[in-house]
A and B are shown apart, each in its own frame.
Chain A
């Protein structure tokens, strides 16, 4: 069965430093996608970044990058130059393109706190 594991319930980082949020996944499918979402305390779910299983390069979007290690089944989110506004809950999610159709499977989330 498909599963997403985020082992860090909470993380602290100093403002302007980089931080890595861990995500491992389990799937038997060869074709899948990995997504990261940010959920601030206000409650909205904001899409950050996407990585396809066949993408040869790691995805980047501004200060966000995805450290994708397919053999290890990990898709860690790296946030560079942390800002106070980065304090939020971060969810890793996966979609299997063939067997699971459209649904996203989410992890438990990591709460990131950025210290001034």
Chain B
């Protein structure tokens, strides 16, 4: 596709359930990033991949959060045993390379609400 595609756009689930958020990057983009954005705040880094290799997961809040990109294209961010504090906008971005001045292009995000 022309841009970064995220699904679902909205996800409402009960506390304690697992959720999986999907990101399809721009074709040919080597690097893929996950961010979390609270209302009225800037995005906060979670993790990123170059191809299928997870390069940095220092931003994942705890071990309930995990991400994978098994074939170097589509990525899934999984949150296990969700809690209300996990409610936020989750954004995916991709770039041609993970170095230098390559801009990251963002998807429209998944709005996650935990009841």
A residues near B (Cβ < 8 Å) are 4, 33, 35, 37, 43-45, 47, 50, 52, 91, 93, 97, 101-109
Contact = CB atoms under 8 A, between A and B. Distances in A.
Contacts of B45: 103-105
Q: Size class of B's contact patch? A: 20 to 34
Interface string B88-99: 010101010011
Given A91-B43, A106-B42, A106-B44, 19 more contacts: A35-B103, A44-B108, A45-B43, A45-B106, A50-B103, A93-B42, A101-B56, A101-B98, A102-B48, A102-B56, A102-B95, A102-B99, A103-B33, A103-B56, A103-B59, A104-B104, A106-B43, A107-B42, A108-B41
Contact of B106 (A33, A44, A107, A109): A44
Contacts of B104: 35, 47, 104
A108 B42 contact: yes
20 contacts: A4-B42, A33-B100, A43-B108, A45-B43, A45-B91, A47-B104, A52-B100, A101-B55, A101-B98, A102-B31, A102-B33, A102-B48, A102-B99, A104-B43, A104-B45, A106-B42, A106-B44, A107-B42, A108-B41, A109-B42
A45 B31 CA distance: 17
Contacts of B40: 109
Contacts of A44: 106, 108
A101 B91 contact: no
Contacts of A107: 42
B41 A109 contact: yes
Interface string B25-63: 000000101010000111111001010000110010000
Given A102-B99, A108-B42, A43 B31 contact: no
A94 B100 CA distance: 11
A45 B4 CA distance: 11
B1 interface: no
A97 B35 CA distance: 18
